[in-house]
Structure 1
């Protein structure tokens, strides 16, 4: 039996295969027009590398940026919406929040790039009332049919339905869906009570609209991938990682693609967490630097964080879907350096991607990138990139930087290249600080873990800029996100609003909450049944989303016993106060605490990727691993004749002193003067000041 993790990035598609022969890694260029091409080709190639039959692959776990790219490029489906009469403009009004309070030129994404155009938002007569969900006005079915006729004339095939208070009673939404499918049988239909069955009409409507916006193209990609995998003779089960760090089925993603908006970056956090645990480290700052972007996150106490509900925003649109707490910026190996019209020196967010790629790739790219700067500074050897699979042309890098940056600014080519590196490093450091210091965490208590193909080039410099404790470089930095896909569990989440004042809650109120827990647990059990998960492999976690009465948003607090009782509700209240202190620095111990939503997470435990111990280091490891030496320019501007080492030949305890460059197929680690790298038990590197 073999398992494969496949992570698709903007530049490369990374693969890891685990079988009884060991663990194998591979990279192929991403095919941006159709990601499935690179995925299938990569799977077939890594099977050949490992010497295993493609028929023996049992599971393919996939991290994809398809849904993310749709939101970034604003090229999703044209959506039609049915909503309650009088509430047609909720998607336009939002929360009346200015994205930037003191800017005169700010953009309002939900208005400038609406998920549903106003002319396609059709008001329907119906009304459900709180707090019981009673029907005050029956659904006007004829109006739904008239709206469908309009959608047909306009060629709309993706329809979302969001009625007021449908989280209390979904009858009207379900009936409207039936009518839409009668009138437009091939429609992709999303209803808010299934996509985000919680209170807050704007966030609920925005989430169901986003589901309809990304749904058709995401479904097309996933079904196409499923078909191509089958046609290639691979009988594996396809699984997709979700934004919350769990994996799910293709069917689940097709129905609810809002759950995979942050699919790609989530794998990196999981892979980093797995290696941190092997190294015995609880606190890490993770930074995944690929060809297009850098994904930055923080792990505290050995657990990744889930974003607060008010922060779950994708391309400016509110999305009520749980996501790992991470930030993405346009900083990667392919980030383009340029001089703007005001004469400012910028790096990113525009990227050369994989097509045409950096200038040194020789594929027609003419703009200087971060990768070109690394080549000019002698850090990336032209004949060793990707193990020599992709030879680079240093002359093209030099030409791009000289013509576009150095000459216009009156700098030497080396000074311009150093400037590119310093600018991109400071851009990333600012985001790391915003994700740590600004939240009350001291980076001196954290190890910085750089990964992605470009990560270890920048690791030490970023650790210096943010004052991190040390640097931990994973075993295969360029494949870490793919490795994370084999280190997560099958997971389903179900949520429902059940507003209850906790302090004054009596037994009947708690019974009402527990009845909701039982319903959500049953829904998760049904999905695990469909996946054939054995009862002994199932775990159910109950999470209470709690706030102070009148507070804007809530925080997640675990319900350890899985049910609320008169005996344990005080523990939930205390845990909420503690969480509030951790997130905001204060708490109101005497204020009314209110349960807002209940969330049940149904999980199926699966075997995680098991990294083997590496061999003990020997006295001659450094001599054996030494390849050659070449002049290299470091961040302080100094040039040193710098040895290259084959990282795979360094055993446990072997120490390398800088200046040095540690080479491997999927990435390169830059070790400046004054630093030492030590190989840890499972092959990761610990870099500290000498």
Structure 2
């Protein structure tokens, strides 16, 4: 069987899972913010060394059927508001107010658009329209707008704007200041959703465009037969050229949700809440009765959009989130040190404190085993940064600062998911991501959850979840008031579009599943088609409990539990334990590329599948 490569690019670390049948190879590498295509190739090169005994990227690529890629770069950019300045041109004076109907949406509109709004008269001669457009485009670009979104009152008005712009501005100028026409970008019955989709896509686009096309260019040098696939937030994959930036938002967490659903099925759990703790954000989502909650029209930071999305919430609480002091209080995020410079303990020049620095000084992390021993951590740098930015400003000792920083971080983490718990009280938290297992138990206890499940592949679990995706394209057409003959013609046209797109994906339409449906939205009848080419999917071993036995400790670690108290804590290597192995906390469990902290009052059990089951008996 040909291999399938799944890559999840985070703000600090990039994860890779290479699958071939039931065999998995996985590893992690530092994200390279200056050139994100570099960490993609670094990850694949590391994986090839594990597979072949030495680095052999060419052989790995030539034995691979597809490379599926997801990125949190768009999510992180929006959380931190790091993107281009957007300008809005419209002939609807009421539109700005319609786009900010709540405090949250109004704040987002202010951050992304601000005062860069050009109002065009709804009437006037072509010459007057031309003069207005030229004046407004010049004004908005002078005000710093790097991308423009055009939202006309009608499709005809937008087409008129487009013709006028192309006539009055040379194409090289329109290329340097890209213009998106909202009605062309998204088919929708709601104008606010449609316009917001255009604004958000324009904001996210440059974040992902450069490195994706750079990666495709580098892959061509290896004569890779199949193109790079982008994993989307609707759970499917497609070529870079056949997707849009907006569909990459929160795509990594959707992979985590697909993996979480597989866990729920394997362990027979009705309600599982994922907390995927990356470097910059924590992504939270729920699986109920083995189903992922999906919104036909998704929502991003309180803004409704035109595309389907799973219900995932991203908050600026991650392993590299900056912990600082503001107005005498300890704060966590949303800004992150990312991979460059990274946490202070990485030794790359970081000058801000993070939970990674805290856990190192508490003794939870072993400075010699981080990332499976691939990166030595510098406790001295962490100590200096925490003293300077937290302990000294608060007038407290280093030891007290560590305990308070950990408590603040755990509280922030608990708040990120507490309101999504099942009202029946039977929620299990699935904790993964590089930072998830470290503080999951303490956050779960704060939120009133007594069961935590840490998969063996926790450190790369979102990348693993991408393994459940297929190649797919979706289409919608309003057929309100159409006759049967007209609907037949629309079906024929939509199927022709699907055939063309799936051919460009590398597959004949006869190899694909076609799912037709009819929807009613805002009084309009909509014909929908989804064309899917199925790829191989993995299975998770049954989670049935094995015969209990005592877990075997590999040693002990000195872990601080209070400003004046240090405990000698047993350390267990997850991969060395037999199924059914159990132990009581306090304990540390070292898994592949992750460290899990098991507090006092919790017990640990290793499942048949090799996952870590944690229970609060306190």
Q: What TM-score bracket applies, with the shorter chain setting the length?
A: 0.7 to 0.9
Q: Distance in 2 between matches of 1:307 and 1:165?
A: 26
CA contact (8 A) 1:177 1:189 kept: no
1:323 is matched with 309
Instruction: Give SS of 1:108's match.
Output: helix
1:16 touches 1:26 (CA, 8 Å); kept in 2? Answer: yes
Give me the whole-angstrom Cα distance separating, in 2, the residues matched to 1:283 and 1:521: 38
Task: Select which of 353, 356, 360 maps to 1:368.
Answer: 353
CA distance change for structure 1 residues 615 and 25 in 2, over 3 Å: closer, same or farther?
A: farther
TM-score, normalised with respect to structure 2: 0.85
Q: Using the alignment, how far apart are the partners of 2:76 and 2:241 within structure 1?
A: 20
Query: Is the contact made by 1:274 and 1:487 (CA closer than 8 Å) also made in structure 2?
Result: no
Q: 1:397 to 1:529 in 2, by over 3 A?
A: same
Alignment of 1:578-657 (within 5 A): 599-611=528-540, 622-623=551-552, 626-634=553-561, 639-657=566-584
Counterpart Cα distance in 1 of 2:288 and 2:504: 34
Structure 2 unpaired stretches of 5+? none
- 1:444-496 deviation line (CA, Å, top 9, x unaligned): 22211111111011222222222235111112111001111222122323334
Given that 2:437 and 2:597 are in contact with CA atoms closer than 8 Å, whether structure 1 keeps it comes out as yes
2:97 — aligned with what? 93
Structure 1 contact 291–353 (Cα < 8 Å) conserved: yes
2:402 pairs with 417, 420, 430, which one? Answer: 417
Q: Which one of the candidate residues 419, 441, 447 is aligned to 1:460? A: 441
Task: Count residues in correspondence.
Answer: 601
Unaligned runs of 5+ in 1: 101-105, 127-138, 501-507, 548-593
Q: How far apart are the structure 2 equivalents of 1:400 and 1:157?
A: 36
Describe how 1:116-131 pairs up with structure 2 within 5 A.
Answer: 117-119=116-118, 122=120
What corresponds to 1:533 in structure 2?
A: 507
CA distance in 2, matches of 1:619, 1:177: 70
- Give the structure 2 partner of residue 64 of structure 1: 71
* Match runs of 1:396-411 below 5 Å: 396-411=381-396
Equivalences for 1:545-556 in 2 at 5 Å? Answer: none
Q: Deviations over 1:361-386 (max 9, x none)?
A: 22222332111111121111111111
Q: Distance in 2 between matches of 1:303 and 1:386?
A: 33
Is 1:428 equivalent to 2:430 in the alignment?
no
Q: CA deviation at 1:8?
A: 0.9
Q: Would you say 1:332 and 2:318 are equivalent positions?
A: yes
CA distance 1:403–1:179, shift in 2 (3 Å): closer
Counterparts in 2 of 1:477 and 1:443: CA distance versus 1, 3 Å: farther
Give, in whole Å, the separation in 2 of the partners of 1:637 and 1:272: 39
Give the superposition deviation at 1:268. 2.0
TM-score (norm 1): 0.77
1:21 to 1:497, Cα distance in 2 relative to 1, 3 A: closer
Cα separation, partners in 2 of 1:234 and 1:286, compared to 1, 3 Å: same
Q: Distance in 2 between matches of 1:172 and 1:410?
A: 62
Q: Give the distance between the partners of 1:481 and 1:519, measured in 2 at CA.
A: 36
Deviation at 1:58?
2.1
Structure-1 separation of matches of 2:166 and 2:228: 28
SS at match of 1:239: strand
Give distance in 2, aligned partners of 1:118 and 1:75: 20
Who is 1:356 aligned against? 341
**1:352 Cα deviation (Å)?**
2.0
Q: Secondary structure at the match of 2:570?
A: strand
In the TM superposition, 1:92-491 aligns within 5 A as 92-95=96-99, 97-99=101-103, 108-114=107-113, 117-119=116-118, 122=120, 143=129, 147=133, 160-166=149-155, 173=158, 184-185=170-171, 187=175, 188=178, 190-216=180-206, 218-232=208-222, 234-253=224-243, 256-307=244-295, 309=297, 312-314=299-301, 318-340=304-326, 342-436=327-421, 441-442=422-423, 444-491=425-472
Q: CA RMSD in A?
A: 3.7
